Each structure stands twice: as C-alpha cells, then as structure tokens.
Structure 1
Amino acid sequence: MRFLHTSDWHIGRTFHGADLLAEQEAVLGHLADLVAAEAIDAVLVAGDIYDRAVPSAEAVRVATSALSRIRQAGAQLVITPGNHDSAPRLGAFAEFAAAGGLHLRSTIAGLAEPVLLADEHGPVACYGIPYLEPEPARHALGVLGARGHTGVLTEAMRRVRADLETRPEGTRSVVLAHAFVTGGAPSESERPIAVGGVEQVPGAVFDGVDYVALGHLHGPQTLAEHLRYSGSPLAYSFSESKQRKSAWLVDLDAGGLAEVRRHELPVPRRLGHLRGELADLLSEPEFAEWIEYYLSVTVTDRVRPVDAMRKLRERFPYAVHLEWQPAGGDAGSALKYAEAVKGRPDIEIARNFLGDCRGAPPNEREERLILDALSAAGIGVDR
C-alpha cells in the first residue's frame, strides 16, 4: 500500500500581509496530480489544514477543491486536526464524509478507532491522533496525573497499541499525530504549543507502529526511518527560504514499512533577501532577477529613506518586509531611554529621538514643527 504524507497546509494564511490562496491552490493541486502519477492509495494530512479555527469562505473553498481533486485522482484521505484547526468544525459530518473516502479523525474519544484499509497483503490500520492540548486532554483521557504533551500522547499511544493488539495478526499500522517531537528543528512560522507543559515529546512515545506521519514543524525532516515530518507545502516565513518543501511517499509491504521516498514540491513563488542602498536596489540591473520573488529587503542608507517600501514595490511588487540598517551604524541596538534622557531638556530629547530614527538630525522645517508641538503642549522651550 502506498501513502502520501503531507501536513500543515495552513490554508488562509498570509505572508507578511500577502494573500497566499493562489499559491496554496497551485501546490495542493500538484498533490492531486502526484496521487494519479504514483498510484497512491491514501493521503495522510497530519494537522493544520487551515490557519485559523474559523477559516474564511475562500479558505474553505480552496480546501474543498484540493480534497475533491485528491479524491478524484483515486486516493482516500485520512485527516486529523492540528493546533490551528478547530477539531469540532473540521470533524463535522465525519460519518457522512467517510462514505466518500474522506476520513476525519478529530476526537479524543475516537483516536483508537482506526480507518481500516486493505491491500493484497491484508489490513492496514490508520490511527489519527488530533492535536492534544494537555490540560483538557488529560481529563478527557482519564489520566489526571499526566504531565504536558508527553503525558497525554503516551496515553493516546497506549490506547492505539491496545487496539492494534486486537486486530488480526499481520495488521500493519500508521499513526497521524500533530506534535513537537524531540529532535525536530522548528521554523519561525510555527505557533508555540508549550501551554500546559513542556512542548517536546520523546520519539519513543510512538514506538510500536510501522509509520508515524507527523505534523506541526514546517521543515521536512526524518527523526527515525518510521518517524517523519513532511513539513508545510509552502514556506510561511523567511527562515524557511532554503528549505526544499516536499511530501513523503510511503510504501508498506507484507512485513510493514518497505520504503520512504521524498518528493519535492513546486515553488509557486520563491523567497529572497536583498541588501543595499535604496538607489542601487531600484536601479542596478543585477537585482532584476528578484522581481518575481517575495522579498525581505534591508536598506543600508546612512539616513532612513522616505517612503522606501512604496518605492521598492514599484520595481519589486512582491517586497513584503523592510528593515533599515545603516552602514556602519547601530540602528538595531537597544536604547536605555531612562538613562539616555535623564536631566535633558525636552527639545533635546525630541531632536535626538528624530535623529536616532532617521539617522540624521532634524532639518530647519522639522525643528520649527518640534518647537511648535512642544509649545502647544504647554512645555516651555528656550528657543
């Protein structure tokens, strides 16, 4: 049996304010094409279908379209919610959806009730463990002494293994889980899940099954041969610009896990970093290749350029992030303002503040505006 392991679609997410629905629809459509090309039997989505608990109508449309295309390509789907999803909303109409090949495993009570698939070698039991918030999950699981994510996932996997023991001999097993497993490397775009205890979970918690499809961390990575993160299909922070987004093709034979192959996904729009003086960035031919990239730009002018982002977007329409780091300066250093302003007159504080922000002292017109503002506030100023 062949599975496709993916996760962390985050449909509806924006990238520094830029709408990503078109890019998300394109890369998820590629997954449907891959299902047909590789004769995949089931697609495993290990959490965070949506970026919000209450997704927009457009996000729901993109998700529905992607799931429909995957199903029409010939694969069944097994999905469990992540920490961004609303488990009750995602699991609505689960019994009806299962009849059409969409299996939603969204409840704590049902985490040990597998989706049963079969091939020429016999049955495969697919267990979906939804994201478990430690405090409510320990009550729902009846393990009040459980601590943090490790405690509740240990109980969840105990129930999975107990159910697996009741299955016919030779039944192979797959688990979907959304968690931060020890050894995984995070990116800047994941929401922390440390509420309720230490967030990391030892990989040994998942021992005893043939394959574990993990979600939550956005970079593809292998923690053990049977224990992997697929990562997100798109980059959601500039920290992911060097990651090669991918999905795992997982083959089970009669004896269990046979082979895992990595399939790199297309990149609808690449990410880039540019650095230099604004005039050079806007005029030099060497920067032309970056026009179609999502860009994080650092301008190094000695004086902060006025209206820099608007000017950048005239040449680079997908510039989404801007920083100013003057060459040879220390604009990023923290100021101890209580000490810096102690005993200084208000006019001097105002002048220095403007100078710190812009990298140059106020001009004559700005000086008059400062004096007028202080006067209007009833602050006496020695002109």
Structure 2
Amino acid sequence: MAEHPAYPVGLRLTGRRVVVLGGGQVAQRRLPALVAAGADVLLVSPSATASVEAMADAGELTWERRRYADGDLTGAWYALIATSDTEANAAASAEGERRRVWCVRADDADEATAWTPASGHSAGVTVAVLTTDARDRDPRHTAAIRDAVVEGLRDGTLVAPHQRTRATGVALVGGGPGDPDLITVRGRRLLAEADVVIADRLGPRDLLAELPPHVEVIDAAKIPYGRFMAQEAINNALIEHAKQGKAVVRLKGGDPFVFGRGMEEAQALAEAGIPCTVVPGISSSVSVPGAAGIPVTHRGVAHEFTVVSGHVAPDDERSLVDWASLAKLTGTLVILMGVDKIGRIAETLVAHGRSPDTPVALVQEGTTAAQRRVDATLATVAETVVAEGVRPPAVIVVGAVVGVGPHGTV
C-alpha cells in the first residue's frame, strides 16, 4: 500500500453517520469541519476537552461518555480514531476494515485507510493537500503548501480564470486602520476581483499598488481643509461605474459604518437599484489604541468605552454629542477626528467634572510605519498637540487605561 499514492476525493457527509473515537485535541481540531459538512457525528469518549463538550452541549453532535466497544462503527460512513489507547485504536481500525468504513488513525497513519488532508477555504474553493510520498509525510510541509495556495487566492496573487459570471455591483469595504495586513480576507479578495476602486486617503494605500494595471483607481481623498471629493460625487461615481457592469470596490478606512458615511453610500446605491455588499473592517477606535499598547477596557480600571466624533467642537450647534454626560463616565473615551478640537473638548470635559489630571494619549498614523504616541493630560493636551506637532489622522484616548501597559503602571 505504501508504494501507491492516496486517491484524493471529496466526501459528501450531510446526514451521514461519522464516528469519532476520542475527545481530545485531535477531535477538537477535526470536529468543526465535520459538523460544518453536515455529518451526523457520534463521539465516543469517556472525557472531552471543554470545546468538544461545548459542541455536544449545543447539540452539534451526540456524545456517548464511554470507551470504544466493538460495533461502534455500525452504520458509519467515515471514522476518526483518535483515542490515547493504542489497542482500542487498532481494534476500531480492524472493525472499520471489516465493515468497509474509511478510518483515519491519528496515532498511526500507516495503518489508516484514509488520511486527513491539510485543507483551507477561499472564495468558495476548498484546497486540500496530501503528500504523495509515504516516507515523507510531514504535516508541516503540506500545511505550508495549503497556506501558500489559500493566501494566493485570498490576496489575488494566484488567479485562476473561470467561466462563472461574476456578480457586478458595489462592495463597501472597510480597509482597517492603515496596516494593509489588517484588511479582512473577504475585503482583500474583492479588491483582487475589482474593475474600479474608489479609495479614501485613510484606506490601506499599500494595497492599491498590488492591483492589476487594468483596474481604475479613483482618488476620493478627503484631506482636511484641502481638496476633497464631495459625497454626492462619490455616490454618483459608484453608481455610474456599477451601471456599466463593472465590479466596484469602495475602499474606506476603518469600518464603513463607523464615522465612514458608508450608510449614505449604501442608501444611494439602493435608490439606484445597485446591489451592494458591506464588508466590515477593523475600526481604528479599538485597533489603534491596541497597537499603541492601550487597552480600551481593563479589569479593575475601565468597564466600558465610548467612541465619539470630535470633528465639531462641543459648543458647535451641529454637535450631537452629550459631552456633559460623557464627563461623568468613569470608563474610556475614544475620540476620532478630534485633533484640532481637542483643546475645547478637554475644557468641556473638565468643566463638567472630569479631572484635569485624567491621562490622554494621542496615537498618530496608528498601525503604520509612521505610528507615534504622544501622552498628556486633559489639562495639558491642547498645548502638547501644538508642541509635538500632532496631526490627523490620530486617535485620542482619554482615561485611566492610558496608564495601563505591559508592566502594569496602573
């Protein structure tokens, strides 16, 4: 048997009995995929990990809390043998041979009748890798090949032509806080499939360099107090290109619906009858403080955090923020788009009861190579911003968590 390679095949297990012997780490890794495949899973094991037990409690599988017994593979289509008892594994494997049940042996691949490939998924495709050399069955090697293929499909560096009609429309993609590695897998895949990309200045700009030459990139940068593309013009551009049958990606910084005006664009597309897909992104409100070593919540320090926009001052009639109530909270306050208004914001918070000694951190260009952190207090933040030349984009964190770090300064 060792002279011949394994024959690759995809099992359709929906509604079919699969027996798993052993509830340890191997079962914990393999069970989610079996459940996702719709298998009728019977787990036979006197004990199980907490995660496996939670799956049983949730009704995702049937768990019989006992050791393996002859006859357990009756009616099974497939079996995973992963107990710590070598003799029981051998007996179950022999039963599988008698009953013609394909069996994976976690303890002895040479005695198994089936092997589990290193598998991954991307864009409706399952990638499964098996070694063809029985003498060199290194799981790290097959996993590395799988990862390379899946990553290539996800980031668009590995493109396979297909005849399927591609759905047109617009995808509102949250690009994350700036580091191109922090965009979601789905967002990166949609970028790779785009014909037109309308990008914000705060989106992950490095990703634009990876786009094929035929992709049209439209700059929708909204530079503070400089050139900008009006929201109506952005909406019209999205609609115009989508109506031409093109796949359009609106690449935005952070998350489309966190001060990103994403809903305005979604509403405009809906009115025009254009299909719209929303791809959430990692919001800078939590990711940028985290990248600077600041947790927005911390046990015994802050049990809540509030995210507000600081693009208009507290005394501006357009402001919708209840700054007086925010000043009374004991948790963390995260302010976006507030660098030039932070002086008046700090004064308002202090006037309504927040201590002037409250720590403040400003994190500029968070998650990028240009990231820097400047610390102050509510009493000093206005002059610190000027002295240190802090410029947007910057996330401002107000609260005791600013003093919490790896060494527990709070």
Structure 1 and Structure 2 fold alike (TM over 0.5): no
Larger CA Rg, structure 1 vs 2: 2
- TM-score by length of structure 1 reads 0.32
Larger proportion of strand: 1
- TM-score by length of structure 2 reads 0.30
